[in-house]
Amino acid sequence: MDLNFTEADQKFRAEVVDFIKTNLPAEIADKVKHGKHLSKDDHMRWQQALGRKGWLVASWPKKHGGPGWTATQKYIFDNVCAEMNCPPIIPFGTKMVGPVIYTFGNEEQKQRFLPGIRESTVWWCQGYSEPGSGSDLASLKTRAVREGDHYIVNGSKTWTTLGQYAEWIFCLVRTDVNAKQQEGISFLLIDMKSPGVEVQPIIMADGGHEVNSVFFTDVKVPVENLIGKEGEGWTYAKFLLANERSGIAAVPQSKRGVESLKRIAASEQQDGKPLIQDGAFRDKIADLEIQLQALEFTELRILSSEAAGGAPGPEVSFLKIRGSEIQQRITELAVEAVGYYANPYLPGLLWQGSNEEPVGPAYATTAAPRYFNVRKTSIYGGSNEIQKNIIAKMVLGL
């Protein structure tokens, strides 16, 4: 056992730092640092830079174009990216549909879709949840009926994150209404430009447009866009959800969040002294940092057993639970720290990239909107209640 990085790891770290310094535009890093809204172009510029370097799909096997990193290298990469305020990598192509395609897709599909994901030239979004199917995903109703060489798709998806930018959507659809619930589901790739696809924005509590409803009316989808076998979509869906959960702990992002919280608390004044000198508030940050260490070392333990050949099991669910709780606590304390200046709401500054002066300190502008926004983290990707059910059943055998 050794906590220190090897010389090779140190070298790798320096290489990552160097790459980011050269390739991440300062104005994008600044937006990330201050929790501001990122445009499609911001994401694309950064992801395409990573794509050109071959670093965008860090977890993919080498034969599909991954960099072939060790778990330690991935850990270093994620942490350096967060420390240096890189935009988060949009997971829908890279962490979700990409692995599904290279694991279950045919050769033609791999040739057709994987390069666009690796190079970030194609934006993907996720068609899983439906208005009536949230926690109970397998009850989904969007229908795909085979007619000759096509499926005709009718129905609707919801909570489609950044679907307004997407060129493609991967969808769970029901191809057999007579089979048992999970067995009638298939996994389809749908071109968003197909006639009959309509995207409607859903405005979030913080005022931002981040998620959408997607409606399908008699959408013709070629059968070659079916992944794997008809009726086996649920197997692929579960594979994908397990991947989604493992990244969801967001430890590097939370580390950055705690650092930013400390800076806020050092800057805010209370009775003429920095707020961080207030024992009660300082204790809260300390407690949070300790919680984050527990989460980080839990994730490292899992990573290390993975490196030794063990597959991550359902216990990754608690990474999601604790990760989301810690993200939420960071924002809760930021709201507490800024006091009255949590109140001003400046949509221009938050969403339209306007240059107006913030009302209070710059960091106060995003405090409350972030707090409202990250309530989603205990809801999405399988709510924390569902994650606890998974642990109770699959890990504890209850």
Partner 1 sequence: MDLSLNDDQNMLKDSVERFVREQYAFETRRKNSATATGWLESNWAKFAELGWLGIPFSEDAGGLGWGTVETAIVMEQFGRGLVLEPYLATVLLGGEAIARGGSAAQQQAILPALIEGKKQLALAYAEKQSRYNLHDVTTSAKKEGAGYVLSGHKGVVFNGPSADHIIVAARTSGGQRDAKGVTLFLVDKNAKGLTRRDYPTQDASRASELTLDKVSVGADAVVGKVDDGFALLEEVIDRATVAVCAEAVGCMDALNAATHEYIKTRKQFGVPIGKFQVLQHRMVDMFTHAQESRSMVLMATLKIDDADAAVRRKAASAVKVQIGKSGRFVGQGAVQLHGGMGVTDELNVSHYFKRLTMIDSIFGNQQFHLTRYGQIMAEAA
Of residues 278 and 289, the one with the C-beta less far from partner 1: 278
Radius of gyration of the chain (CA): 22
Of residues 129 and 156, the one with the C-beta less far from partner 1: 129
Residue 285 CB, shortest distance to partner 1, in Å, is 12
Of residues 196 and 358, the one with the C-beta less far from partner 1: 358
How far apart CA 16 and CA 90 sit, in angstroms, is 19
Residue 36 CB, shortest distance to partner 1, in Å, is 17
Structure tokens belonging to residue 296: 């980080």
Of residues 226 and 346, the one with the C-beta less far from partner 1: 346
Of residues 19 and 281, the one with the C-beta less far from partner 1: 281
User: What are the angstrom distances between the C-alpha of 298 and each of 31, 166, 332?
Assistant: 30, 34, 23
- Provide the binding-site residues for partner 1, judged by CB under 8 A: 129, 132-136, 139, 158-159, 202-205, 207, 211, 268-272, 275, 280-281, 332, 335-336, 339-346, 359-360, 368-369, 371-373, 375-376, 378-380, 383-385, 388
Residue 76 CB, shortest distance to partner 1, in Å, is 33
Closest CA to 65 of 2, 116, 31: 116
Q: Which amino acid is at 252?
A: P
Compute the Cα dihedral for 113, 119, 122, 126 and give only its sign.
Answer: positive
Question: What is the b/e burial string over 185-195, where b = at least 16 CB atoms within 10 angstroms of the residue's CB?
Answer: bbbbbbebeee
Residue 179 CB, shortest distance to partner 1, in Å, is 17
Residue 337 CB, shortest distance to partner 1, in Å, is 10
Of residues 122 and 386, the one with the C-beta less far from partner 1: 386
Residue 119 CB, shortest distance to partner 1, in Å, is 32
Residue with tokens 């200046």: 341
Structure tokens belonging to residue 356: 């107006």
Of residues 70 and 200, the one with the C-beta less far from partner 1: 200
Residue 207 CB, shortest distance to partner 1, in Å, is 7
CA angle 128, 85, 6 (to 5 degrees): 100
Residue 359 CB, shortest distance to partner 1, in Å, is 6
Q: Are 35 and 338 in contact (CB under 8 A)?
A: no
Of residues 48 and 270, the one with the C-beta less far from partner 1: 270
> DSSP code of 173?
E
| C-alpha torsion 219→225→231→235, nearest 10 | -120
Of residues 107 and 271, the one with the C-beta less far from partner 1: 271
Residue 300 CB, shortest distance to partner 1, in Å, is 29
Give residues with Cβ within 8 angstroms of 254, minimum separation 6.
292, 295, 323, 326, 327, 330
Structure tokens belonging to residue 263: 């800076």
How far apart CA 197 and CA 174 sit, in angstroms, is 17
H helices within 220-315, ranges in order?
233-247, 251-267, 279-307
Could you count the other beta carbons within 10 Å of the beta carbon of residue 220? 16
Q: Are 264 and 337 in contact (CB under 8 A)?
A: yes
